[in-house]
Amino acid sequence: MDPGGSRGGCSPFRPDRTPRSLRGRAVHVREGGEGGTKPWVTQEQTGEEGTDRCSGSGPDSSKLAGPAIRRGGDGVNSRHLKSTFLAILLVLNGCSSPPPGSLPEELTVPAGATFREVADTLHARCIITKPRLFRAYARLRGLDREVRSGEYAFLRPTPWSRILRDLTEGRVLTEALTVPEGFTLKQIAPRIAAITGMEEDSVLAEITAPSAELDWEVPGPGLEGYLFPDTYRFAPGAPLREVLGAMVARYHQVWTPERIELMEAQGMTEGEVVTLASIVQAEARLQEEMPIIASVYRNRLDRGQILQADPTVLYALGGPRARLLFAAMDSVADHPYNTYTQPGLPPGPIGSPGLAALDAALSPAETGFYYFVAHPDGTHIFSSTLTEHNRAVAQTRLERDRMRGEEGQGQGDETP
């Protein structure tokens, strides 16, 4: 409990916000003097002079401090007094907890703020009630010289030790950024924009630039496929490069020695594995089917057949669609990602594959399948011959007709 822990009435106070790009960085601060300026808190708001707005009464810090310490004196042990004073502050600070149902109070610490300014703003927000004692406590613990800028949340009141821990260790508020498996850069861009505070178009322009311009060590022509799907946490306003760096680092992390060994055994490059995995990710609804789907494409590649993978054509058309119609394919007949007309794998991934799809591409099932077609429920019928495949296609069309009450829905999700 802070000295004078009565909460008292507090009016909302929100200091000026600082550029989000400066948050989360360690900054050395100076102890402001009595006449020092306070760019983000005023005397009226702190209530340090006169009545304390957060607690109408409380112990006088001068009485708590005890007699003055005489350096080099013969009757007083300064180290003992320092320890005693610190113990008193710890007791006063630790004898209460926040009221039930208290909501966290958000607080932004600008880069370059002095420790006095931080303490005064904590007081203005009723997170602490005695800023002078708080500064003394921090000074005795040697924690009054470095705080990290950023956005924090504290209950009212919060133990001083916890406040100092959060401020000096940079335990800022974070926001989750989730990248689902199979997402393309176009789909990821809005989520990154929400974290960084950038415009979505600006984010998309940055992340779709060639990887050589971005200086990222990825095996593809750009970042497509290499922003690994996962949930990340960043401080609000995190720099774009920090966000992208975390995702690319996560991608490199999954390439364990075992996976590298499997890649070499397959006779494929890293980029080829990720590209194949991205197609498998787009085709599969069920994880258990991924190794079988991967086997179909590997079998076709080994035989020299074109892949005829619908997701690659949808990617060439600009994004996911419910169904692929042959009429739309004419507009991308010569597109390098059209695997109905172009041999081999496309130039790069068509999305960010997850671990299951990556492992399926590295360890495809051993099958004799060269074709598959999707049931309406997303599962697949696999076939070894074109005759078997044509029967499966007819079967799934009847299923769709019965379910939708429509006829002539086009080719559907299938590999001829």
DSSP string, 35-88: T---TT--HHHH--SSS-SS-S----HHHHH-SPP-TT-SS--HHHHHHHHHHH
Residue pair 243/371 in contact (Cβ under 8 Å)? The answer is: no
CA distances from 37 to 4, 32, 296, 350 (A): 26, 8, 71, 55
Per-residue pLDDT at 171: 84
- What's the sign of the alpha-carbon dihedral 207, 212, 213, 216? positive
Asked if the model's pLDDT at residue 414 lies above 50, the reply is yes
Domains of the chain: 20-65+78-169 (3.30.1490.480), 175-254 (no CATH), 282-404 (no CATH)
310 burial via Cβ count (<10 Å: 0-12, 13-18, 19+): buried
Confidence of residue 303 (pLDDT cuts 50, 70, 90): very high
Coil/strand/helix, residue 233? strand
Coil/strand/helix, residue 168? helix
Question: If you search the block for the tokens 């194949």, which residue do you land on?
Answer: 276
Per-residue pLDDT at 90: 53
- Lowest-confidence range among 49-63, 197-211, 281-295? 49-63
Selected residue with higher pLDDT from 95 and 209: 209
- Give the containing element (helix H, strand E) for 169: helix 160-169
- Lowest-confidence range among 128-137, 164-173, 182-191, 283-292? 164-173
Per-residue pLDDT at 38: 42
A 10 A CB-CB count for 250 gives 16
Asked if the model's pLDDT at residue 1 lies above 60, the reply is no
- Would you give the DSSP letter of residue 146? E
- Lowest-confidence range among 286-290, 297-301, 321-325? 321-325
What is the overall mean pLDDT for the chain? 78
- Would you give the DSSP letter of residue 380? E
CA distance 180 to 356: 13
Per-residue pLDDT at 77: 59
Residue pair 193/256 in contact (Cβ under 8 Å)? The answer is: no
- Lowest-confidence range among 57-66, 276-285, 356-365, 391-400? 57-66
Question: If you search the block for the tokens 């005489």, which residue do you land on?
Answer: 70
CA distances from 324 to 317, 328, 408 (A): 10, 7, 13
Which long-range CB contacts under 8 A does 26-30 form with residues at least 24 apart?
26/146, 26/148, 26/170, 27/111, 27/112, 27/113, 27/146, 27/147, 27/148, 27/149, 28/145, 28/146, 29/112, 29/113, 29/114, 29/115, 29/118, 29/144, 29/145, 29/146, 29/147, 30/114, 30/115
What is the rounded radius of gyration, in angstroms, for the C-alpha atoms of the chain?
Answer: 31
Asked if the model's pLDDT at residue 395 lies above 70, the reply is yes
Which of 64-73, 76-85, 292-301 shows the highest mean pLDDT?
292-301
pTM of the model: 0.67
Selected residue with higher pLDDT from 312 and 4: 312
